[in-house]
A and B are shown apart, each in its own frame.
Chain A
Amino acid sequence: MQRSKNDVWVGLFVIVGLLAIVFLALKAANLLNLSFQSEYRVVAKFDNVGGLKPRAAVRSAGVVVGRVESITFDDKSFQARVTLALENRYSFPKDSSLKILTSGLLGEQYIGVEAGADEKVLAPGDTIAATQSAVVLENLIGQFLYNKAADGSNPGTAPKK
């Protein structure tokens, strides 16, 4: 096939187009942050996961150490059964505790890991018992109103401020 001057321009056009796709994948969608680390799975039972979603981050000290893999309902204990995929390079003590936290006021929910003090580390398939549920705004408001009502009904015993 003979060369033509269009080759250059078509080549440039294709390169610009592919660069745009790469830009979208890397800069807009952050392909590089998908971890290709090998992972191990641990299970945690929560009373209430709130708005936690699969693929949400698992953070310890603010650093992403894994992802939420799946959330299912356990109809024996009536709890949410959350499977976490933690990166192999991080190990945590067996008595670490988990909390469901929210990034910012309206941000998405993630799981925070607080390391314990045990000598032994979490092994694949372990279950983490010490968990703290998501804060549900309705429960908070309910509690607040209940306390208010309790204060209002017997003003004699309520501490004056």
Chain B
Amino acid sequence: MSWYKPADIGFATRSALADWGYGARLLLRLTALFGASMRRFGLVRDQIHFLGNYSLAIITVSGLFVGFVLGLQGYYTLQRYGSSEALGLLVALSLVRELGPVITALLFAGRAGASLTAEIGLMRAGEQITAMEMMAVDPISRILAPRFWGGVIGMPLLAAVFSAVGIFGGYVVGVLLIGVDSGSFWSQMQGGVDVWKDVGNGVVKSFVFGVAVTFIALLEGYEAQATPEGVSSATTRTVVIASLSVLGLDFLLTVMMFSI
């Protein structure tokens, strides 16, 4: 592989395009399998349990501490301008619009995405997927689709929990510890946060992140080299690619949603 040989450049371009095409077709198949997954909801339920419930602890604790820190740092800056009553608004808007969906997606990529990739990669390495194909069971609809929809359903719920717990954390630090007035904390928040524009767009964001992170984890696992090194590098790639694409997508979505 060298950059000055036309044949190598051509091969690299062709395989990159083939990878993208394969990924796009897999994503379309997974989307089309929504109905089939809902008909066998038991499989999706077990995945929501595995991906969602087990992530709840890390999401709640991180949300609480992010709320604490937002309360402290927000108060420090706001009181310079004599408007520490706007602390509630600052905490709620930063959580609902950005931090809730993004940090949840990053944590989800590390906590759940990595385990999805490792699980499917080991199925590939143990030739379980080949065995299913031999029995005329479609591994995409039996293994990948329930995990995909489990992750997609779980992510917006986790992000909402993160934001709610974070606001509670901001309340604890801002109102209970520092002593910002409780009434203005909530009323400024309610005056400035819009249900559809802020909360609704936050849910849309976390849904998109759910699709992206879960899909990347599944694709990396499904395409992993059937060796221990292959599985380990696939897991690493999942976390790196999923985190970077969450941050990139977040920028794009923010530009589309909140720029006027």
Contact = CB atoms under 8 A, between A and B. Distances in A.
Interface of A: 1-2, 4, 6-7, 9-10, 12-14, 16-21, 23-25, 27-31, 33-34, 106, 108
Nearest to B187: A30
B56 A13 contact: yes
B193 A28 contact: yes
A88 B193 CA distance: 26
B163 A24 contact: yes
A22 to B, nearest CB: 9
A31 B45 contact: no
A19 B42 CA distance: 23
Chain A, interface SS category:
helix
6 contacts: A1-B40, A18-B160, A28-B167, A29-B190, A30-B195, A31-B195
A13 B45 contact: no
A148 B221 CA distance: 77
A10 B45 contact: yes
Interface magnitude class on chain B: 20 to 34
Contact of B157 (A20, A28, A29, A31): A20
Given A25-B195, A29-B193, A6 B157 contact: no
B160 A28 contact: no
Nearest to B86: A106
A2 B42 CA distance: 8
B83 A106 contact: yes
Most B C-beta atoms less than 10 A away, residue of A1, A17, A30, A108? A17
A13 B48 contact: yes
B161 interface: yes
A30 B96 CA distance: 14
Given A20-B161, A28-B163, 20 more contacts: A1-B40, A2-B42, A6-B45, A9-B53, A14-B48, A16-B161, A17-B52, A20-B157, A20-B160, A20-B163, A21-B156, A21-B160, A24-B96, A24-B167, A27-B167, A27-B190, A28-B193, A28-B199, A29-B190, A29-B199
B158 interface: yes
Interface string B52-73: 1100100000000000000000
Nearest to B63: A20
B49 A6 contact: yes
B42 A23 contact: no
Q: Which of A7, A27, A28, A108 has the most CB of B within 10 A?
A: A28
Contact of A29 (B156, B161, B198): B198
B93 to A, nearest CB: 9
B157 A18 contact: yes
Contacts of B157: 13-14, 16-18, 20-21
Contacts of A18: 157, 160
Contacts of A25: 195, 199
B96 to A, nearest CB: 6
B48 A30 contact: no
A29 B161 CA distance: 15
Nearest to A16: B161
A4 B96 contact: no
Contact of B190 (A9, A16, A33): A33
A30 B52 contact: no
A16 B55 CA distance: 13
B48 A28 contact: no
Interface in B2-61: 40-42, 45-46, 48-49, 52-53, 56
A27 B164 CA distance: 10
Contact of B41 (A1, A13, A27, A33): A1
Given A10-B53, A29-B195, A106-B83, A21 B203 contact: yes
Nearest to B158: A17
Contact of B49 (A10, A23, A28, A30): A10
